[in-house]
Amino acid sequence: MLPLETTREFVLDRCQARKSVRVRVADALGLVTASEIIASQNIPQFPNTAMDGFAVRSADVADAPCELRVVETIAAGHAPQVTVGPGEASRIMTGATIPPGADAVVMVERTAIVSDSAADGEIVRVEVSVPPDNHVRPVGDDLHAGDNVFPAGTELAAGHLGVLCSLGMTEVEVYPRPRVGVLSTGDELVDDGSPLQPGQIRDSNRRTLLALAHRADVETVDLGLARDDPAEIEAALAIGVQTCDAIVTSGGVSMGDFDYVKAVLDRIGDMRWMQVAIKPAKPLAFGTVGDVPVFGLPGNPVSSMVSFELFARPGLRSMMGHPQPIRPTVVAFAAEDLLRRPDGKTHFMRVLATPLGGRTAVRSAGGQGSHMLWAMAKSNALAVIPDGDGVRAGDKLDVLLLD
Ligand code: AMP
Ligand code: MG
């Protein structure tokens, strides 16, 4: 049996990031930058007010309370027209440019309009003195032109997209989202809702694997369902290779008489058949057909999901340019015994991880058989149980938090 880490390294070596492309910022959520982003301008570009209030000369209000003549009202998005002279102030709205002459803002809550006569104009009473730069956001307060904003390899989240927009960028250089085809194989599978004949079951893997791929932020392609028939499997894989950047299959990679996926992939691809020292998901077929990585995952529903999580997800994230494609584990503690038998494998138990007193408590999500999809569905984490007898209530353990 191969260690998990060695197997994953083998996979990641063959899942390199693809050639970068320029995409619209509007389409870039979740993608990874292929080059560093340098600020082309200062943000903010002009000094502006953080508060609604009055732009003043700080020296004028040093002996507040005092009264100032209001010479202008400046709204956000409108350039000031009047210089604030001694004894004067301009009413100003959050985000509006600080007018020339003024060097500070008094928030509106610390002021009162004391007269608004036709003869004298508007007079504001300022209740407090303020230092220079009070509530003023200076040029470049957030970013300076030339700053290295985000290094290459940054996953673009909501805030990142906002920064790109602030900088006036409409496009960004990223690694493309791979198109990932998902294929189910097996004579027993039914996917059209028709009544089950004896021995038949519903195809559940394709939906879960498509959903996991979607959550991994790749583009998904449903390659359908192939019977245990070499010609049918080869035809489906051929479509996959033509239309996708990576393929995920489930089933047909074990030692059974009708596990033809193995035979076909061996003929058309450069595959490695691996027994990984983990449970579930011991068998893994991985390789390439042409330059398309193919993940041949085991058929048991839980195994296929765990295998996707441990191998396919990191591989696909690596193709997307993620510098850290493997989910980090977090340290938790067992809220109950999580027992197992020694068998030379690392077990990935389906568990529920919940916050408890500043720590993460972990308990079993239910049946641990590799066909028991219900417990997998109810779990939110995989507990990493090293070879041995398992962990006891109160023990520390590593967990992989799932989406
Ligand atoms: P295999 O790897 O093809 O021998 O399949 C192992 C087990 O997983 C068998 O019990 C299959 O019926 C089951 N299985 C395979 N593919 C699927 C699928 N797409 N959905 C649900 N169960 C499956
Ligand atoms: Mg099968």
DSSP letters of 50-102? SSSEEEE-GGGGTT-SEEEEEEEEE-TTS---S---TTEEEEE-TTPBPPTT-
Counting atoms of ligand 1 from 1, which one is nearest the CA of 256?
Answer: 4
Q: Which residues of 249-285 are buried (b: 16+ CB within 10 A; e: fewer)?
A: bbbbbbeeebbbbbebbeeebebbebebbbbbbbbbb
* pLDDT of 393 strictly over 90: yes
Looking from the CA of 298 toward its CB, the CA atoms found within 13 Å total 25
* pLDDT of 255 strictly over 90: no
User: Which pLDDT band holds residue 69 (cuts at 50, 70, 90)?
Assistant: very high
Q: What is the mean pLDDT of residues 329-339?
A: 98
Ligand 1 binding pocket includes 298 (Cβ within 6 Å): yes
* pLDDT of 120 strictly over 80: no
Kindly list the structural domains of the chain, giving each domain's residue range(s) and its CATH number in brackets, ordered by start: 4-18+177-319 (3.40.980.10), 27-44+141-175 (3.90.105.10), 48-137 (2.170.190.11), 329-401 (2.40.340.10)
Distance 305 CA to ligand 2 centre (A): 16
Distance 192 CA to ligand 2 centre (A): 18
Distance 252 CA to ligand 1 centre (A): 8
Q: What is the mean pLDDT of residues 331-341?
A: 98
User: Which pLDDT band holds residue 234 (cuts at 50, 70, 90)?
Assistant: very high
Q: Which residues hold their Cβ within 5 A of ligand 2, which is an ion?
A: 186, 251-252, 299
Ligand 1 binding pocket includes 40 (Cβ within 6 Å): no
Q: Minimum mean pLDDT among 102-111, 159-168, 247-256: which range?
A: 247-256
Q: What is the mean pLDDT of residues 362-386?
A: 98
* pLDDT of 181 strictly over 90: yes
Bond preceding residue 301 cis, omega within 30 of 0:
no
What is the predicted pLDDT for the residue at 117?
86
* pLDDT of 271 strictly over 90: yes
Ligand 1 binding pocket includes 283 (Cβ within 6 Å): no
Inter-residue contact 282 to 4 (CB < 8 Å): no
